[in-house]
Amino acid sequence: QLSGHLIKTPQPPSRAALGGPVACVSKVELRVACKALLDRDTLNKSDPCVILMVQNQGQWTELDRTEVIKSNLHPVFAKVFTLDYYFEEAQKLRFEVYDIHGTHSIGTRDDDFLGGVECTLGQIVAQKKMVKPLFLKYAKYAGKSAITVGSPYSSPYRFRSPLDLFSKSDPFLEIYRINDDGTEQLVHRTEVIKNNLNPVWEPFKVSLISLCSCDEDRKLKCLVWDSDSRGKHDFIGEFYATFREMQKIGGGSKVTWDCINPKYKLKKKNYKNSGVVILSDLKVRANLYSSCSVAIDFTASNGDPRNSCSLHYINPYQPNEYLKALIAVGEICQDYDSDKRFSALGFGARIPPNYEVSHDFAINFNPEDDECEEIQGVVEAYQNCLPKIQLYGPTNVSPIISRIAKLSAGEETIKDASRYHILLILTDGVVTDMADTREAIVRASYQPLSIIIVGVGNADFTDMQILDGDDGVLRSPKGEPVLRDIVQFVPFRDFKTVSIALLHFRCLYLHPSNFQPSQKIGSQKISETALLFIIAMLAAIKSPSVTSKGGVIALPSNGALNPC
């Protein structure tokens, strides 16, 4: 067991005369203990001794050794090793354990070697407890022999300022976001910790938008300074991080970064760092993550897709009614989808290979992964699906509603953030299974789910208004009311001659009264302000351009709304 602590008597290093940056030095005391050593003696137990080796210019030399403890496989040595600790350097150490047959005489035979381990002095000082197994030659484990490396101090890291050789620094930290054009924008500046080489800054809050523009891999530049009352702060070091790296914290582990001073790194051969910054805690405030699914009506009432009068007819020069509705509504839903992947489903068709009627099938014919990349992926899957299926019926939507509701119930939270589902149903007529659909909607109203039903074509959609619930409370066939109004029905034809933005507004208009701060959706609370903000933004969205070339629908490359 190796344990070490700093004797807090900083001294000017003798190596200053060698040129280059001057570093602070601290004295470190190491105490050694071993456990479960190999028993080399035939008639008695081993007589262990630990030799401390240090590496200088690639050569290992003996620095010191412990006393010999007779006949003991679990020795705790009284000898204390004292070393100069240069924080900026990687000081390599080797601990070798031998079975001694005389007074401090080390045998040269392999039989006398009980095991060894290499580490750095920084590792010993930095860790509270670190177990190292002992190894024999050729990297073979020495049985269950081990050395435990520990330090009584939890925060041994020190920041070095070139002007604070004989005093302590006044450090503070700055975090900069690196923009797409390479410019840097200050995100946060901590308070100054006076006269302290082991600062612990106060917790602070910053939005993900400000920190990294919702890009978890965006580079963040972090600078550590030694504060100066005149404003001429002394640079200690810097490091780069990402929000994704920060999220690795957990399970008792901490995230650390070496604080590097580039000038020191160039001038000093053995320079390691000018300190270590530790992220000891990270909490992501609950947010609303959305997941979108699309369900398309493939019943025979749409007409034969080979006929130009069919709502499913693929015109090489312009999108059909389903594609227009899919793109118009799906594009805006896409902006609120966390991963831009849509579960693309179909109902009311006979599907291969047995051509049995299905009211819940993946239009990419991959039930294990029914998701498509963005709305463009759904468009392509839809176009590829049509020639392979037979339109049939009836118009049953309750199976898909029940499926998505069940999925919502099982994925209420993701890393302390709420997962909210949006189901977009495109249909050409009134649903056939109205009673089952009402029952499914009532059940779904208890889950984090909203349903947008878009009526395609010129059918009479009067009966569909029942599901909307705007004129009254929707009830199940048994009379049970919905917990909240989760359905929005929109006839697509009503928006052909007006701004698509209005269609967006109608489709995603979810009454804020359904999302009162006290109302739980699943196990999370959804902010009313967030919903109002979304609705306000939707009213300003411009209509996306839609083009068609060679029968393939192309979407605009830039989104209509920044999801952040």
Task: Answer yes or no: are the C-beta atoms of 188 and 154 closer than 8 Å.
Answer: no
Tell me the Cα Rg of the chain: 34
- For the chain, the distance separating the N- and C-terminal CA atoms, rounded to the nearest angstrom, is 51
CA distance 38 to 33: 14
What percentage of the chain reaches a pLDDT higher than 70?
A: 71
The highest-level CATH class for domain 171-279 is mainly beta
pTM of the model: 0.46
CATH fold of 2-150, please?
Immunoglobulin-like (2.60.40)
pLDDT of residue 489: 87
Give the residue-averaged pLDDT of 529-543: 33
Give the residue-averaged pLDDT of 467-475: 77
The highest-level CATH class for domain 288-554 is alpha beta
Task: Answer yes or no: are the C-beta atoms of 53 and 98 closer than 8 Å.
Answer: no
Q: Which amino acid is at 460?
A: D
The pLDDT mean for the chain works out to 76
Give the DSSP letter string of 193-252.
-TT-SS--PPP----HHHHHTT-TT--EEEEEEE--TTS-PEEEEEEEE-HHHHTT-BTT
**Which residues, at least 6 apart from 82, have a Cβ–Cβ distance to it below 8 Å?**
27, 28, 29, 30
CA distance 116 to 142: 9
Q: Highest mean pLDDT: which of 191-200, 234-243, 456-465? A: 234-243
Residue boundaries of the structural domains of the chain: 2-150, 171-279, 288-554
What percentage of the chain reaches a pLDDT higher than 90?
A: 30
At 453, which helix (H) or strand (E)? strand 449-455
Task: Decide which of 141 and 539 is more confident.
Answer: 141
177-186, 221-230, 466-475, 513-522 — which is least confidently predicted?
A: 513-522
- With 80 as the cut, is the pLDDT of residue 315 above it? yes
Task: Answer yes or no: are the C-beta atoms of 371 and 341 closer than 8 Å.
Answer: yes
pLDDT of residue 185: 83
Q: What is the pLDDT of residues 440-458, one digit of tens each?
A: 999 998 888 889 898 998 8
Answer yes or no: same fold for 171-279 and 288-554: no
- With 90 as the cut, is the pLDDT of residue 154 above it? no
Q: What is the pLDDT of residues 254-303, one digit of tens each?
A: 889 999 999 988 888 888 888 899 898 888 765 556 788 999 999 999 99
Q: In 100-183, where do the E strands start and end?
A: 113-120, 129-135, 141-150, 171-178
In SS3 terms, 326-344 reads as HHHHHHHHHCCEEEEEEEE
Q: What is the pLDDT of residues 408-417, one digit of tens each?
A: 887 544 444 4
- The pLDDT-based confidence of 9 (bands split at 50, 70, 90) is very low
- Bridge partner list, 391: 349
